[in-house]
Amino acid sequence: MQRLTLSICLASSLAASPLMAADTNSAKYRAQWHSDIRTGYQNLASQGQALADQTEIYCQAPSAEELEQTKQAWLDAFLAWQKVRFVDFGPVEQENRAWQLQFWPDPKNLVARKATYLLKGEAAINPEKINESGVAVQGFPMVEYLLYDQAFSEGSRALPADRSCQLLVSVSNHIAENGEALANDWGNFKSSYVNNEQYTDTTIRAAMAGLELLEERRLATPMGLRGNGQRSVYRADAWRSGASLTAANATVQGLEQQFLPAFSKLLKDRGYADLARRIEEQAGEIQTKFPELDRPMAPLLSDDSEFRILQSLYVHVSQLTALVNDRAAVELGVVRGFNSSDGD
């Protein structure tokens, strides 16, 4: 996944942050952030293991019902990841774990190409093979491909073919192992995180980057508002499953649950209670005004009348981004770094 990353000059911008200078007791905010994010990682670990268990059940006794259960287990685990996806620092940086969990964007369709290569081979598809095959193989998009890709599902290697099941189970177990490792490592990261003033700014920057990614890359680009100006569902994440908007909703939920509680307290303690309230209300409006974000994006892109739903969602996300990135961060003296994403 080509994430939006922010240039963080620790020696200059963090050390000079007015936010840090104004509060030498910001550990209380980081303590809450750590607790809330840990809950998110624990949910990811739990849902990842449920996915791994369900793929084994399905492949041992395939049925249409078990396939649907497997798809639901994938969605539950994928949405758990979306909720903590904004955390782009700490243990998730180790061994490219974020990329392992979600290789995106994928303009060269490497996920499909890697799947074809592995399924045509003769070597056993096992944990060792997954470990050596690269991030395009190791995460949610590969499982999504096996479960949802239309052309693949109509071909000779469609599930529950033996090698396809080997790949499905092995990748799902890899996701579960990464989820468990993240939850454990984040727990062990507590002292370093809570006792380091720099992580206040780092956490805020991570949320800023997550909002920019949601606004610019996950919504504006497939809507044709960026890039070549053409609408294309293939520029969205999770397009095969039709879960692009459900995933966007989960990201907003994750920010509400794991970022905003401590961030709102910080703002209120700094005298920006009205701004904190506006941010909370804006995030809540996305949930209340768009209750049916489980719809696939493709039909909304192809129908101008339906496209208005996406336009309205985009405006609301943009307003939330502006409040956090252009208002709150500025008031707190958190300097936004350069956007280093190159798109593809």
Q: At what angle do helices 64-84 and 244-258 cross, to 10 degrees?
A: 40
* Cβ-proximal residues to 127 (8 Å cutoff; 6+ apart), any chain: 170, 173, 174
Contact criterion met (CB below 8 Å) for 54 and 73? yes
Long-range contacts of 109-117 (CB under 8 A, 24+ apart): 110/136, 111/136, 111/137, 111/141, 111/142, 111/145, 112/145, 112/149, 112/152, 114/142, 115/142, 115/145, 115/146, 115/152, 115/167
Q: Which residues contact 276 (CB under 8 A, 6 or more apart)?
A: 263, 264, 267, 268, 328
* CATH assignment of the domain containing 34: 1.20.1420.20
- Whole-number percent of the chain with pLDDT over 70: 91
What does the alpha-carbon distance between residue 171 and residue 118 come to, in Å, rounded to a whole number? Answer: 12
Q: Residue 104: what pLDDT?
A: 98
341 within some domain = no
Task: List pLDDT tens digits, range 221-234.
Answer: 999 999 889 999 99
Place of tokens 């529950």: 160
271 confidence band (pLDDT: 50, 70, 90) = very high
154 belongs to a structural domain: yes
pLDDT at 293: 85
Tally the domains of the chain: 1
Residue 3 pLDDT level (bands cut at 50, 70, 90): very low
- Paired strand residues for 252: none
Mean pLDDT value of segment 184-197: 98
Mean of pLDDT over the chain: 92
Assess if residue 125 is contained within a domain.
yes
So what's the pLDDT on residue 291?
82
Kindly state whether residue 7 falls inside one of the protein's structural domains.
Answer: no
Range of the domain at 121: 18-332
Alpha carbons 74 and 80: distance in angstroms, whole number:
10
302: in domain: yes
Residue 5 lies in a domain: no
**What is the mean pLDDT of the segment spanning 199-203?**
98
Averaged pLDDT, 157-176 = 98
Q: Which residue has the higher pLDDT, 292 or 63?
A: 63
So what's the pLDDT on residue 24? 55
How is the chain split among helix, strand and coil, in percent rounded to 5?
A: 70, 0, 30
Residue 16: the pLDDT is 42
Q: 83 with 38: CB under 8 angstroms?
A: no
**Is 12 a member of any domain?**
no
Task: Say whether pLDDT at 337 is over 90.
Answer: no
- How far apart (Å, rounded) are the C-alpha atoms in residues 132 and 12? 38
List Cβ neighbours of 30 (8 Å cut-off, separation of 6 or more).
193, 194, 196, 199, 200, 203, 262
pLDDT at 19: 52
Amino acid at site 125: I
Task: Classify residue 9: in a domain, yes or no.
Answer: no
